[in-house]
Structure 1
């Protein structure tokens, strides 16, 4: 199946789950418990994570837990066709991007080499860790040069094996699935 069709299917599944709030919340809780117990999380001093859209995996508890454990948190910001990660604090201000995602208003870019754990969003995943995102290729370009650990927080509804990864698709190291 082509990526455009698989993305449409994935978005439909995410929206179905979003409308089933209790199920979504229960799955999120089980997935973040897996994440917080994992060596990737425990060893990380700096994490990269997106501020999610409402129908995506809610990353606010992840951000809050990171701060409570003294970890630095960076979130993506797209400028001039490139995505960089910027450190945020509880006091940070955000602006809504053209993609609808909240990005930090101020620039405090963190070098990729300083990020220990990158939590990568996606619409559809294979169990091997390949993903279909929203179609911009931003994460694939970042992952090409990223040397730290990568993971994704994945609902079972996002797992689809009916598509082939392309040469430029970057594999995620670990998926936490429920």
Structure 2
């Protein structure tokens, strides 16, 4: 199946979960437990992660746990030309809203380099068990992961798993998938 069709299938699955909050919350809780128990999380001092959209797995509990544990959190901001940079955020950070409705750190925030991020939590719409993902189609994470040397993981609802597609040469795999 081609990526655009799979993307629609994945978005439909995420929308279904959004309409069934009790199921989504149960799955999210299990995924958080898996993440927080992982060696990658326990050893990481700096976490890279998005501010999630309502359709996606909520990243707010991850942010709160990172803050409780004294970890540094970096959130991406995207730029023209397919560039993405991460910036340090705090509980009091006031975010800008991108043209896509995504909360991004203000340009006044301190940039966190890729070499400083220990664990990158990568979002996606569709995944396969080999760690490849289909996102919203901008290629930001594939470009970022190409030169990223830290650990990467994704928290995946089982409804997002599909094996019927072939990754392309530029697709970058995620190191660890947590699936529920």
TM, length-normalised to structure 1: 0.99
Matched residue of 2:168: which SS?
A: coil
Distance 2:174 2:14 in 1: 20
Distance 1:156 1:165 in 2: 19
Query: Is the 2:127–2:134 contact (alpha carbons within 8 Å) kept by the matching residues of 1?
Result: yes
Aligned to 1:162: 164
Matched residue of 1:166: which SS?
A: coil
Where structure 2 has 5 or more consecutive residues not aligned to the other structure, the ranges are none
Distance 2:24 2:143 in 1: 30
Query: Is the 2:76–2:86 contact (alpha carbons within 8 Å) kept by the matching residues of 1?
Result: yes
1:107 is displaced (CA, Å) by 3.1
Deviating runs (4+, > 2 A) in structure 1?
none
Aligned to 1:83: 84
Deviations 1:123-143 (A, max 9, x none): 000011000000000000000
Distance 1:99 1:47 in 2: 23
Matched residue of 1:153: which SS?
A: strand
Aligned to 2:61: 61
Q: Which is further off, 36-45 or 90-99?
A: 90-99
Query: 1:1-178 alignment to 2 at 5 Å?
Result: 1-81=1-81, 82-105=83-106, 106-178=108-180
Deviations 1:20-57 (A, max 9, x none): 00000000000000000000000000000000000100
Distance 1:22 1:97 in 2: 29
Matched residue of 1:85: which SS?
A: strand
TM, length-normalised to structure 2: 0.97
Distance 2:115 2:53 in 1: 26
Distance 2:123 2:116 in 1: 19
1:91 is displaced (CA, Å) by 1.2
1:3 is displaced (CA, Å) by 0.5
1:95 is displaced (CA, Å) by 1.2
Where structure 1 has 5 or more consecutive residues not aligned to the other structure, the ranges are none
